Amino acid sequence: WIMKFFHMQLHPNKDIGIEVVKEILTKKQVIGLGSTNHDAQDFKSRMAIGDIVAIRHGKQPVAIVRVKSDSTLDTNIDPVLDWFDLRRNVDILEMYEGDGEIPASRGTLTICKSVNAPTSKFIIGWYKRYFVDHIIESCILNDSQKAELKMLYESFRTREYKHNQDE
């Protein structure tokens, strides 16, 4: 298995607003689309558990999530909130904070095919920053070891930043 990166919009063929997208992610912890959408086959077969998906609202990044389930067809939908019947459970890795834009923002679901494409660079870069910032949390260490490692990392990061500024 090789982790893949995607970007997608959650919208029922109309603008639902970024706050509704955030609400779907935080309350339901799912992503999805209508089972009749032209991207449904990719959602079901190309996307896999462990893949990373950047959720966007137009060009605006909303969140980066990790897929944690196979696709399911759910007929118990809320037409106002989570209107889509084809869905996957996700873990929200990070809500986007910033003023960046996802360069290519067309379509409902798009796989990042080329690591050199601007959109792929944006999404993979976002994931790498998240990963580096949270790697300590995933270490199998006791709390004092994690605190010490975090202190060392912050010290290194500060020194590295200062070093880069001096050059």
Question: How far is CA 123 from each of CA 46, 50, 80, rounded to the nearest angstrom?
Answer: 18, 15, 29
Nearest to 84 by CA among 46, 120, 36: 36
Tell me what pLDDT residue 118 has. 93
Tell me what pLDDT residue 13 has. 65
Beta-ladder partners of 152: none
Per DSSP (E only), the strands in 51-165 are 52-57, 60-67, 72-73, 86-95, 109-111
Contact 63, 104 (CB under 8 A): no
CA–CA separation, 66 and 135 (whole Å): 15
Tell me what pLDDT residue 11 has. 75
CA–CA separation, 90 and 49 (whole Å): 9
Per-residue pLDDT tens, the chain, 167 aa: give them.
789 999 999 876 667 788 989 999 999 999 999 899 899 999 999 999 999 999 999 899 999 999 999 999 998 887 777 788 999 999 999 999 988 899 876 788 999 998 899 999 999 999 998 988 877 666 677 788 778 878 887 777 665 444 444 44
